[in-house]
Structure 1
Amino acid sequence: MFMSTQAPLRFFCPFAAATLLLAPALAEETPADQVVTLQGSDSTGGFSHGNTYPAVAMPFAMNAWSPFTQPVKDSFFYQYRQPKLRGLRQTHQPSPWIADYAAFSVMPVSGELICDEEGRASEFSHDKEVAKPFYYSVEMDTWNVSAEMTVTERCASFRFTYPEEKDGYVILDAFPKGSSVEVQPDQQRIVGWVKNNSGGVPQNFANHFIIQFDQPFLDQGTWKPGAEPSKDLKAEDEHVGAWVKIDPKKGPVTFKAVSSFIDQAQAETTLGLEIGDKDFDAVMEAGKKRWNDTLGKIEIEGGLPDQRRTFYTAMYRATLFPHRLNEPGADGKDRYYSPYDGKVHEGVMFTDSGFWDTFRCVHPLFNILFPELNDQILQGVLAAYEQSGWLPAWASPGHRGCMIGNHAFSLFADAWAKGNRNFDAKKAVEAMLHDSSHEGPIASIGRDGAPSYLQRGYASDDKTHESAAKTLEYAYNDYCAMIVAEGVGNQEAAETFRKRTGNYKNLWDPEVGFMRGKLSTGEWKPDFDPARWGSPFTEGCSWHYTWSVFHDMQGLIDLMGGDQAFTDKLDDVFQADPRVNTGAYGGMIHEMAEMIAANMGQYAHGNQPIQHMIYLYGYAGQPWKTQIHAREVMARLYHPTPDGLCGDEDNGQTSAWYVFSALGMYPVNPASDEYVIGSPIFDKATVHLDNGKTFTVTADTNGPMRPYIQEASLNGEPLNRCFLRHGEITSGGEVRFRMDSFKKEDWAAGPDSRPSSQSRPAK
């Protein structure tokens, strides 16, 4: 998602110091202890190993906190190889391509008062850094200060330990783009607001914060970049900050931070409710328990140490987003500031998620592990529609111009197909009818190219940017809308959507054997090259998008000429030269470089469009190929190290792929109740469901060199199909596989063993 034109110099170069991240014996560690939050943090704009930062946060929290090494203006704000830290920042950033908003930071210095970010930056070593989901600590070597932080959903607690023989200072940086601070020494606190954002906010947007200390100040003041620190207690400008002097002889200084998008009074309420009188260690222990409860929804046994660390790190990444926007009132009711109309509403709201990424398997994972949460997310999606007139597609915090498709439709259908229906489905159908027939105020909402799509059955390349990708995704989105419309009995709407579900066929060119862009005249876009990136495709080429028919793989098989032609084409993806035609981009972008470096032909796992493709072999009777390819991707492209991802992590999608794949299944069509079977890597995985039941995946005689399923059973009965149904999982029970090192071509290979498609309905 989003790109730089700078080419990378390297791909996988696993860190020799990676063992420093792995420390104690796994047997003594909880799931939260096994998470490596530094995974993916060795990234740049030109080459991504995840584009992540070591977020200290609760699952689905409103705020996260993270150290940062780069200047405030740099959205790649934590880079593993950099030698200095500039502070600990509150962040809401879902992706460096989207950038941050409502951020501010704190930083300890000792001996002398230095406020600006370059001057206060401290040398540090990863040897003296501890990064956990619930806790972060580091030695600021320049200042000889130990800095620790831990968090709740909307608050954070800090403990700074200074050398006793030097003066100690805490520097608050309220960041540029509009900020205000006030030091209140009589109350031992700093209050203020920040307005920094990267778009998607109303005029009255602000993040109101309170920094509450546990001891009186020896001195205090404010500062502005480029000027000497002042002893003024108030400052408001484009970029301001505050400073306080504390007494190191009294021992470590602790303080609490809280923020609110509503107002400072709400921040006070939240601080009392979420931390109150709890000390630092109590907050940390509560945070660790919360993560263990969340990660413990899936218990794993067996596998290699790095696989177990990678698995729980992937679960952590998959449950950081979306961020909550609702805040708790003293009356027990939730309220939120809406980035869509600038008003305060009762209820729930979520943000910082791009559905183009997360519809694929993040929300399907939520529908298994957190169905109530997913219902709340959908309630928030519909509230956004009511407040803005459009369903969100990429929110951060409001509508942002990024990516394509109407994938809120997929979220509705995904939940509906799984029986998770605690949202206003009739309102959802209304919203889908509206958005599918109108172009929005920005290209990412509504349906860009709607006039052409409705008239011709495809978005035409001479009228619409990235037309082929949009046409393919709109056809799937229309299928999703049809599912929900049928479910609520709106047959007229269902028929409207049904007529469009086959529009993907309009882009199939049998002469070249690929999907391709088409002009408004009905002619093909000239000079076709399946390796040409960019328009008519999005961050990819026809090798990747030809498979974007999530709802009707049988229809795609028929277009290609049958099962053998289909599986041959799948094989070609891996066997093709990993060449790139930079096409519409005019130069290398990071996704291209990452595909070449992975050296798996035209398979580009580092970006989302092709991530389901491995799981398509079972639709044509060769599920054993899915098994070996899934194992290969997990083994080669995921590691619990700073360079341990193969592209953008993107709000948990690339991580959720690993969670599902490690369990041995994947939701190719989220708008169905089926999960295509792959190759489980653990001897046993137990899924703890919200209904109190458990579903267990057991893999007998398993191992790194035993990827192939020989036979399977479901609740003791033979299983000879290559998919599981959602109800079979949520009813509890066990699927059991016997694994070996040689392929078993006749397991689940028959016509009745295949997942369903629109052209091949489930029996």
Structure 2
Amino acid sequence: MMKVETVDTRHGTLNKSGYSNGNTLPYTGTPFGMNYFIVQSQTGSSWHFDPTYPITQGFRLTHQPSPWMGDYSWLLFTPISGRPVSNDLNRLQSSYKESEAVFNPHQLIVESLRYRVKTTIVPTKRGAKFKLDYETDKEKGLLLTANESVTYEVDKKNNRLYGCVPQPVNDGKNTLNMYVVLDFDESDLDGIELKHIHDKNWKESSDVKDSFVWLSLATEQKNLTFSLGTSFISREQAVLNLEREVSPYSLEELTDQSAHEWESHLNRVTVKDKNRQKVDSFNQYMYRLFLFPQTYYERDEYNQTIHFDSYSETVKEGKLFTNNGFWDTYRTVYPLFSIIYPEMYKDILEGIKHFYLESGHLPKWLSPDERGLMPGTLINAVISDAIVKDILPKEEAELFLDAMVKESTEAPKERKFGRAGVKEMLELGYVSNKEIENVNQTQDNAYSDFCIMQAAKKLGRHDIEERYRKEAENYRHLFDKNTGFLRGKDSEGQFADSFTPEDWGFDYTEGSAWQNALAFYHDNQGYIDLLGGKEKFIDHLTTLANEKPVFEIGNYGMEIHEMSEMSTVDFGQIAISNQPSFHIPYLYAYAGKPEYTQHVVKQLSTHAFKDGFDGFPGDEDNGSMSGWFIFSHLGFYPVTPGVPEYVLGIPQFDEMTIRLDNDQSFTIRVEGNVPQNSFVHSIQLNGQMYENLFISQDDIVKGGEMTVRLSLLPNAKEYTVDQLPYSLSNDK
């Protein structure tokens, strides 16, 4: 069983705006925490942390899910000794020793060399305990920085500080408030003083509204602790969260609690291998899987779940989660949760239900409210997968089915919600090229319609099932028989005269036709038929893999980071650096060539991912790329969420055990697991030879054992239609 101390949260955090090695932050918190804490090493952009830059400006309470989304409701804590020389963080920053700092999921420990204070932070879901160990007799203090003017109030009698951090949401129409309370151990302090700069001088005040304050701590003690509580509901709720989660416990008790909670999550999948480094590396990816979405609800005095509804600006009952881009996470994160954490999956869907009832729309990209990014409404895949896998109760499934039908037939009043091109999809069967990213929009809409079909079929709504079965084939409208690609059309049904497969943007999302014209996840056989058969399909995929990783900048007007990441590695046009390519290595199986899938997946897993600060081949995106890595090492992958099966690949550890919620386990044992063996020779499932190129959800979650024998050369064979992974065209 793995220990949380083996996880270094700096994995994948070496990033710039022009090149991503994950675009992750070194989050310390609890799984799915409401807040996370990071070391802030620089200002001026959303890239707050650089693992190679041993500078700290303080400890940032953050809610940033991606640098492309930015942070909100953040607050920076900077322990200092002596009088602050400025309110400029660049003048206040300090060095620290990277080799001595502790960056673990459950605790963060950094010593400021300038101020000679070691800070230990152990977060809870909605709060944290801080311990400050000073080596100096200078005046001790704490600086608090935000990007908005924060309202502070000091309670000297009880050594408490209250704050309210405002955040514009809903396109600036509403304000979200984060309430904070800092509670200092009275035995440590003689008192606290709140100061802010006024006329270039520090002025004491019992209450103040400012973006930068100095909390002076009067004490002779060199070891101080304080507790933090936060809330998005009220000051009183922040105090309740503080007194429930933090105050009753010592730092050591909270550390043990958090470590135990993390380990219970991380050990839902355990791996064994003769290469210990591979095992430790795997744990980094498991950690990333349990960060998002973030908890956005709290518990009232009666322990009932409540949350702040930013659309009505009132407090509502029930759970809510935020910070998730479903265009990314539907592909891997939720299918993994369906196996290893269905109860959490169900909780998140409860939150999605509340968001729908409060906003009138299903979410696309929450941070904290709807941001309206990326094509389609791929939350449909998250919902449909839960329905077909019996994770959702029937009543809620019916509500979600009606919501998905509504989104597919009614144009949203605000563009950030719902589908783009609803009217054209209904009239033309595709989104025309007057809409940017129209090929992706059309494909994603057709796949979402398939997901509606699957949900309706499960619920016995056969009228809806039959209608959306037809809609699911709408991707065919964009097939160009002359090039073999899906291409954009105008409203008259005409393709553009010129076409360059390597041209990025225009009709495609963050890629070219090579990566973005294969998104008919539900009907690969249909595309095979359009191309003219399996040989032409394999030829197309082989050309894609062997093509030079070249690109044209298209309508972007510059080289964006996804172009850079694809072009600097030698995997042809398989841009595993971005989500549209995630399923491409598994497509060979649909033409009966699983050996091609096995080889490509093993090469990508081995050479595109790294163990250090540059760990990912592109944006990690809320656990989605970690999910790809985990699935690909387990040896199966969810090409089609909404269908309860997985395409088989190649397992890459000596032994892997999935701990299931029913107290059962599914174990994968691998014979001949050496670097030179890139092919699957044979598979046994529960002692019986297994010939299918997919495995079902039921086969996994009922528990059992799969034994996989690897080989140096492929064991090529012919496969029947029934042995191939699911395609709509074969489901007649």
- Normalization by structure 2: what TM-score? 0.97
SS of aligned partner of 2:99: helix
SS of aligned partner of 1:128: coil
CA RMSD, aligned part only?
Answer: 1.7
Structure 2 gap ranges (5+): none
State the aligned residue count: 728
| CA displacement at 1:449 relative to structure 2 | 1.0
| CA displacement at 1:270 relative to structure 2 | 1.0
Partner of 2:504: 533
Relative distance call for 1:116 and 1:253 in structure 2 (3 A) is farther
Conserved 8 A contact 1:340-1:399: no
SS of aligned partner of 1:205: strand
Listed one character per residue, the Cα deviations across residues 30-77 of structure 1 (whole Å, up to 9, x for unaligned) are 342222210111101111000011000111111111111121x52111
1:336 corresponds to 2:329 = no
Partner of 2:426: 454
Partner of 1:76: 47
Partner of 2:390: 419
Q: 2:447 aligns with which of 461, 476, 486?
A: 476
Percent identical:
32
Distance 1:183 1:575 in 2: 65
Match runs of 1:197-346 below 5 Å: 203-214=174-185, 215-224=188-197, 227-237=200-210, 239-247=211-219, 249-302=220-273, 304-346=275-317
Conserved 8 A contact 2:156-2:191: no
Distance 1:693 1:726 in 2: 14
| CA displacement at 1:102 relative to structure 2 | 0.9
Distance 1:200 1:93 in 2: 17
Partner of 1:628: 599
Conserved 8 A contact 2:547-2:572: yes
Relative distance call for 1:226 and 1:363 in structure 2 (3 A) is farther
| CA displacement at 1:347 relative to structure 2 | 0.8
Distance 1:222 1:507 in 2: 64
Conserved 8 A contact 1:623-1:749: no
More displaced, 313-322 or 176-185? 176-185
Conserved 8 A contact 1:317-1:651: yes
1:37 corresponds to 2:31 = no
Partner of 2:724: 754
Distance 2:275 2:170 in 1: 43
Partner of 1:23: none
Match runs of 1:253-652 below 5 Å: 253-302=224-273, 304-422=275-393, 424-462=396-434, 464-652=435-623
Relative distance call for 1:220 and 1:600 in structure 2 (3 A) is same
1:121 corresponds to 2:106 = no
1:708 corresponds to 2:679 = yes
Listed one character per residue, the Cα deviations across residues 238-276 of structure 1 (whole Å, up to 9, x for unaligned) are x243412243x4231111111100001111111121123
Q: 2:32 aligns with which of 40, 60, 74?
A: 60
Listed one character per residue, the Cα deviations across residues 354-374 of structure 1 (whole Å, up to 9, x for unaligned) are 000001011101111111111
Distance 1:528 1:286 in 2: 58
Relative distance call for 1:656 and 1:449 in structure 2 (3 A) is same
Distance 1:539 1:324 in 2: 29
What amino acid maps onto 2:209 in structure 1? E
Distance 1:341 1:402 in 2: 22
Q: 1:86 aligns with which of 57, 82, 90?
A: 57
More displaced, 727-736 or 752-761? 752-761
SS of aligned partner of 2:51: coil
Structure 1 gap ranges (5+): 1-28
1:158 corresponds to 2:140 = no
Distance 1:649 1:342 in 2: 32
| CA displacement at 1:440 relative to structure 2 | 2.5
SS of aligned partner of 2:49: coil
Q: 1:167 aligns with which of 127, 139, 143?
A: 139
Distance 2:572 2:150 in 1: 49
Distance 2:194 2:267 in 1: 46
Conserved 8 A contact 1:201-1:397: no
Distance 1:202 1:242 in 2: 31
SS of aligned partner of 1:262: coil
Partner of 1:22: none
Distance 1:319 1:630 in 2: 24
More displaced, 471-480 or 426-435? 426-435
Distance 1:405 1:667 in 2: 19
Relative distance call for 1:116 and 1:354 in structure 2 (3 A) is same
Listed one character per residue, the Cα deviations across residues 71-123 of structure 1 (whole Å, up to 9, x for unaligned) are 1x521111223231111111111111011111102111113334442222111
Distance 1:609 1:305 in 2: 32
Distance 1:354 1:416 in 2: 20
| CA displacement at 1:295 relative to structure 2 | 0.5
Conserved 8 A contact 1:37-1:132: yes
- Normalization by structure 1: what TM-score? 0.93
| CA displacement at 1:489 relative to structure 2 | 2.5
More displaced, 131-140 or 479-488? 479-488
What amino acid maps onto 2:366 in structure 1? A
Listed one character per residue, the Cα deviations across residues 636-671 of structure 1 (whole Å, up to 9, x for unaligned) are 121221111111010000011011111111000011
Conserved 8 A contact 2:169-2:176: no
Conserved 8 A contact 2:109-2:118: yes
Conserved 8 A contact 1:193-1:207: yes
Conserved 8 A contact 1:621-1:751: no
| CA displacement at 1:567 relative to structure 2 | 1.3
Conserved 8 A contact 1:246-1:253: no
More displaced, 753-762 or 467-476? 753-762
| CA displacement at 1:610 relative to structure 2 | 1.0
More displaced, 486-495 or 121-130? 486-495
Conserved 8 A contact 1:108-1:171: yes
Listed one character per residue, the Cα deviations across residues 193-235 of structure 1 (whole Å, up to 9, x for unaligned) are 1123575675241000111111325552232599433211211
Conserved 8 A contact 1:102-1:195: yes
Listed one character per residue, the Cα deviations across residues 651-694 of structure 1 (whole Å, up to 9, x for unaligned) are 00001101111111100001101111111111111111011111
